[in-house]
Chains A and B, each alone.
Chain A
Amino acid sequence: MRFLGVLYLALLFALALVVQTALLPLLLPSWALGGADLCLMVAVHVAVSRGRAAGMAGGVALGYLQDALSRGILGVNGGALLAAGFVGGLLREQIYVRSFAQRLGAVMGAVAAALGWKLLLGLLFDLPSPSLLSPVFPLTFLLATFGAMVLTRWLDRLEERLGVRPGAGVRLDG
């Protein structure tokens, strides 16, 4: 059961990376690509559905792979998705996400943590990141939150059907 869960997450991560690099650039306009970070959405889902430990482990693994498939600075997305996993998992454990509003809060917290890390790196090392002063930041935040909410809901149902979800008692239906 545990092995199946890990295998499922590995496949989910691989699929997210392939779709992010090969399909999304074909499907989405360039202005929407900043918010369409599928890897962030998947990391948020893992955190909000499984808690801090899985969120952090999944986030850091997926983030470092994302870095490896970008321009090569390891730690940019590794740290961002780690922060998303920690905050999303923490909120999930603290508020025991049941309702739509609670889930929205947990997802928003996780997305904000990831964007916050990128902002910090942007300030420290002049790396590309959404600027707080431009409309890109709220747009990115809203798109990523919306995407994560939709993806979480969809993956919840899929995982229940596949039986790969630990703690199936906590169903995240809004």
Chain B
Amino acid sequence: MTRRVIPHRLTLAFTTLLVASLVSVSLQVRDPSGTSALARAALAVISPFQRLVLGAAGGISSIWSGYVALVGVRGENERLHDEVAALSNEASLLREQLVRAGRLEEFLAFQREAGLAGVSARVTGESADPWQKAVMLDKGGSSGVRRGMPVVTPRGVVGRVTAVSGGSGVAGLLVDRGSAIPVLVGASRSRAILEGENSGTCSLKYLDRTAEVKVGDAVVTSGLGQAFPAGLPVGKVTQVLKQSYGLYQYAKVVPAVPLERLEEVLILTGGPWGTAEDAVPPGGER
């Protein structure tokens, strides 16, 4: 009897949980609120481990490039060999620090020139779901970061903050399928919406078919809706698709920022962006 009942209970539990998941997704896509408590808690717990793994990976990579690669070169002077390895390690670390300092200096210059207030954040990992294009950041609510805030580098737009905990956050990238950014295209300054495609490129939509757009045209933020400051570089047009019918033409855009090699970003904390009304829900940016 018990053996009969238990399988039914499991099936019932499965159905209930599956329906609950469906309802949960549907509620969040249609009527999004702030970052969930589970998301905040999970971010807070996982971030220290991520930093640990990142640090260990950096150390291993540094040892690999600075020492293991030299072990094979055997000579009569091992002392010199070790010294070279140690110096090489040190130089590698210094180079890394120099590059990082250069990047931060670039960020500061960019902030000064553009007159934008923000905090720099380090990318600590990527989205736990391989089907979503997002990165995890080491700055969160305690640094004044809120959902919806623009994430940029001096090269251009990266995306927007989509989830925040005390000491870390998640930024949805502009190539994510849930992302939509109002932009201006080329010298004609035509308005359009840039949507992510979950690949390395984005697509320009709602672009007036009479607008003169060509390959190589720059795409910049329009500032409409106060989602991003106006005039930030977003990408370049790589392909224009104009059909013989319809009101609009379409174009492919490659992002100005190499999103697959992000190490540091700037979160724009000043300005009107990132308010509750402004915060763009995950999966509901369209």
Contact = CB atoms under 8 A, between A and B. Distances in A.
Interface of A: 14, 17-26, 30, 33-37, 39, 52-53, 56, 60, 64-79, 82-83, 86, 117-118, 121, 124-130
Nearest to B13: A56
A17 to B, nearest CB: 6
Contacts of B283: 71, 73, 125-127
B239 to A, nearest CB: 19
- The interface centre, meaning the residue of A33, A60, A75, A129 with most chain B CB atoms within 10 A of its CB, is A75
B26 interface: yes
B251 interface: no
B29 A68 contact: no
Given A68-B42, A82-B18, A127-B283, A118 B131 contact: yes
B177 A128 contact: yes
A126 B282 CA distance: 12
A127 to B, nearest CB: 6
Contacts of A35: 130
Contacts of B178: 71, 127-128
B131 A129 contact: yes
Contact of A74 (B28, B124, B132): B28
A82 to B, nearest CB: 5
B181 to A, nearest CB: 16
Closest 6 CB pairs of A and B: A79-B21, A75-B24, A21-B125, A68-B42, A69-B128, A70-B129
Interface string B239-267: 00000000000000000000010000000
